A and B are shown apart, each in its own frame.
Chain A
Amino acid sequence: MTGLKRNDSARLPGERPKSASAWFLWLVALVVSMALGLVHGSTVITMPQVWHAVLHPASGIIAVIIWEIRFPRIVAAALVGGGLAVAGAVMQALLQNPLADPYIVGASAGAGLGAIGAETVAPQMALMAPGAFIGALIAVFFAWSLSRGRGRSPMLTLLLAGYALSVLFSAVSTYLMLQNQTSLSTIFAWELGGIHGMVWAKVRVAAVIMAVSGLILVPQIKTMNALLLGEDVAHGVGVPVRLSQALLLLSASLFTAAAVYLSGLIGFVGLVIPHLVRRLSGPEHERLIPFSFLAGATFMVLADTLAEHLPPLGIVPVGLITAFLGGPYFLYVLARQQGRRFF
């Protein structure tokens, strides 16, 4: 080992520099976006007033607006954006497919059917969100159980089964919607995605679910790096491939279902944010996963604040904002990769 300095604190060649500065920047971005979200809203509240209310939760009407309306809403937006971005990054590694998003194996269609089913069966009970949560998990579980067995490419089967189930579930959803005209607009608004009227109780449920799925995910983080090398290679270096894939799918589905529970179906965050983070700090999951959460949370808080503040356009659901911002950005990235220049 001549010629190599024996210094264990030194960085190995190729090891990325400490990501402390990147952590700091993403956290600052999230805090700033949350502050922006707190200040903006239908009631005009100035920054000093916001600050006072944050520090004194029981100081009157402004404190109530801040603590019971804006805070839950912002935290919910952050959880939705972060959860979907993490789920998207996991699905992309799991399915070895850069176009994978959190909904790709049937979660969206399952959630849609769950929500509509709940609304049809018990329209007075406001069960759409729990219905969507359960529907999303059931759909993914269905697709996964079809992909098990001795076949050679279970992840491809999972993808195809998820697609077929999506078609089937969507057809049933459409039928139920046509039968149930009265709640058509409620369901349509829900499907577009939004974070209206958020309450702490709901945020807490989603936060606990996401914490659990985060704990499932942590011991699989570098496993995803190994899966990028191919299933056989991952197996060779000691990854219990089928078990890891099942745990990753479970974790991603819980993140997705918790996000859907809070906000309905919000598109594009889960697809775009991981790609953005990969461009900034590489595809290694020990950075991709946490930074995707922070970036997704920041993006979603900003999008939600923007959604509240487009008076000329009236009320715009946040799901449309994310699509309007995410779609063009993704096209831009793809064009750049092909060597084109638009800007």
Chain B
Amino acid sequence: MAERMRLEQVDFHWPGSDMALAEISGTIREGVWLALIGPNGAGKTTLLRLLAGLEQPKHGQILVGGQSLSSYSSRERSTLIALMPQAIGPLFDLKVHTVVEMGRIGRYRFWDHLMRLQRSHRRAVEEALWATDTLDLADRNFTELSGGESRRVLLAMVLAQQTPILLLDEPTVYLDPGHASDLLNRVESLVREQKKTVVMAYHDLSTVALYCDEIWAMDRGRVVLSGTASEVVLDSRMKELYALDFLSLTHPTRQRPVLLLP
């Protein structure tokens, strides 16, 4: 499958902090769901921010479509990569529709700021609302939504960007199991049917093993393990990574590994 992103010896460190990423290399291919796992402070969110172009690598580079990510303008980048925020707290009562519409702003021209949206934008917004089952929320105020609803709306916003690459940072945190699996199933269909590339930072290893294709396990700013989801989850080094001796079972229907606390 075609390559979507390539990381070449990416180094980064936060000014005035020990948090850093070191020598991260790897390839992320089309139609692959990649999970970033690792203990708290391993650098998963930092790596996502770099992949989203929110931070620039100190050394090395991130290539998207054969071209350095930092060479794209904000507008160009927003048509290639979308980062779904965990939560937003808008200052005023924005309508759900307005929030989803923001996924299109990178493609706006002068008049789109004043006039009714062009047909292509309207269609993209409509499809994103449809794909996330949020059409009937569109008229509500964003701040009045429940946790599950607001997460679906944020997914709709990034889907409206119509990017080949989707970055998710703990997309199901604070969601109950029903809403969490609903959201993950939606992402799964994006990966399988639309061949989107998804990079997701996630804590729950069994869920990752169940849904994702590949895993990069991170520790103190480095990728220490990478491979297919089943391989990485069952790797003996996972014990050191989390300082925990997991018990493993096999999922009765999906034949994937499931990890249990000892």
Alpha-carbon distance between A236 and B82 when the two chains are bound, in angstroms: 6
Query: Which one of A7-15, A108-116, A264-272 is at the B interface?
Result: A7-15
* A216 → B minimal CB distance (Å): 12
Alpha-carbon distance between A240 and B127 when the two chains are bound, in angstroms: 26
* A231 → B minimal CB distance (Å): 9
Alpha-carbon distance between A223 and B105 when the two chains are bound, in angstroms: 7
Alpha-carbon distance between A238 and B52 when the two chains are bound, in angstroms: 11
Query: Which one of A157-165, A276-284, A310-318 is at the B interface?
Result: A276-284
Chain B residues with CB under 8 Å of A221's CB are 113-114
Q: Are B97 and A229 in contact (CB-based, < 8 A)?
A: no
Alpha-carbon distance between A228 and B90 when the two chains are bound, in angstroms: 5
* Cβ-based interface call for A98 (8 A): yes
Alpha-carbon distance between A142 and B94 when the two chains are bound, in angstroms: 33
Select from chain A the residue with minimum beta-carbon distance to B52: A236
* B128 → A minimal CB distance (Å): 11
User: How many residue pairs, one in A and one in B, have C-beta atoms under 8 Å apart?
Assistant: 130
Chain A residues with CB under 8 Å of B107's CB are 238
Chain A residues with CB under 8 Å of B103's CB are 237
Q: Known contacts A13-B136, A218-B113; is A232 also within 8 Å of B106 by CB? A: no
Chain A residues with CB under 8 Å of B126's CB are 4, 12
* Cβ-based interface call for A212 (8 A): no
Chain B residues with CB under 8 Å of A222's CB are 101-102, 105, 108, 112-113
Q: Which of A279-301 contact B (CB under 8 A)?
A: 282-284, 286
Select from chain A the residue with minimum beta-carbon distance to B160: A237
Alpha-carbon distance between A236 and B92 when the two chains are bound, in angstroms: 20
Given B94, B112, B119, which contacts A284 in the complex, CB threshold below 8 Å? Answer: B94
Q: Are B74 and A13 in contact (CB-based, < 8 A)?
A: no
Alpha-carbon distance between A97 and B91 when the two chains are bound, in angstroms: 8
Alpha-carbon distance between A33 and B108 when the two chains are bound, in angstroms: 36
Q: Are A16 and B85 in contact (CB-based, < 8 A)?
A: no
Alpha-carbon distance between A233 and B161 when the two chains are bound, in angstroms: 12
* A117 → B minimal CB distance (Å): 36
Chain B residues with CB under 8 Å of A233's CB are 85, 88, 102
* Cβ-based interface call for A123 (8 A): no
Alpha-carbon distance between A222 and B113 when the two chains are bound, in angstroms: 5
Give the bracket for the number of chain A residues in contact with chain B. 35 or more
Q: Known contacts A8-B119, A13-B129, A240-B74; is A225 also within 8 Å of B102 by CB? A: yes
Alpha-carbon distance between A234 and B94 when the two chains are bound, in angstroms: 14
* Cβ-based interface call for A220 (8 A): yes
Q: How many residues of B are counted as interface, with CB atoms below 8 angstroms from the partner's CB atoms?
A: 54
Chain A residues with CB under 8 Å of B135's CB are 4, 13
Alpha-carbon distance between A4 and B113 when the two chains are bound, in angstroms: 26
Alpha-carbon distance between A4 and B131 when the two chains are bound, in angstroms: 12
Q: Are B74 and A286 in contact (CB-based, < 8 A)?
A: no
Chain B residues with CB under 8 Å of A176's CB are none
Alpha-carbon distance between A225 and B94 when the two chains are bound, in angstroms: 8
Alpha-carbon distance between A17 and B52 when the two chains are bound, in angstroms: 35
* A94 → B minimal CB distance (Å): 11
* A284 → B minimal CB distance (Å): 5
* Cβ-based interface call for A120 (8 A): no
Q: Known contacts A232-B54, A238-B75, A238-B107; is A1 also within 8 Å of B130 by CB? A: yes
Chain B residues with CB under 8 Å of A226's CB are 102, 105
Q: Are B97 and A15 in contact (CB-based, < 8 A)?
A: yes
Alpha-carbon distance between A307 and B162 when the two chains are bound, in angstroms: 55
Chain A residues with CB under 8 Å of B21's CB are none
* Cβ-based interface call for A230 (8 A): yes
* A234 → B minimal CB distance (Å): 8
Given A15, A218, A223, A229, which contacts B114 in the complex, CB threshold below 8 Å? Answer: A218
* Cβ-based interface call for B172 (8 A): no
* A334 → B minimal CB distance (Å): 15
Given B94, B127, B138, which contacts A283 in the complex, CB threshold below 8 Å? Answer: B94
* A88 → B minimal CB distance (Å): 14
**4 A-B pairs with the lowest CB-CB distances in the bound complex, closest first:** A238-B106, A238-B78, A14-B138, A14-B97
Interface residues of B (CB under 8 A from A): 15, 52-54, 73-75, 77-79, 82-83, 85, 88-99, 101-108, 110, 112-114, 119, 122-123, 125-127, 129-130, 135-140, 157-158, 161
- Other A-B contacts than A233-B88, A237-B78, 13 sampled, CB-CB below 8 A, are A13-B97, A14-B137, A14-B138, A96-B91, A98-B91, A226-B102, A228-B92, A230-B85, A230-B90, A233-B102, A236-B52, A237-B102, A238-B106
A-B contact pairs, 5 of them (CB 8 A): A92-B91, A225-B102, A235-B52, A282-B95, A286-B113
Interface residues of A (CB under 8 A from B): 1, 4, 8, 12-16, 92-93, 96-98, 150, 218-223, 225-226, 228-230, 232-241, 278, 282-284, 286
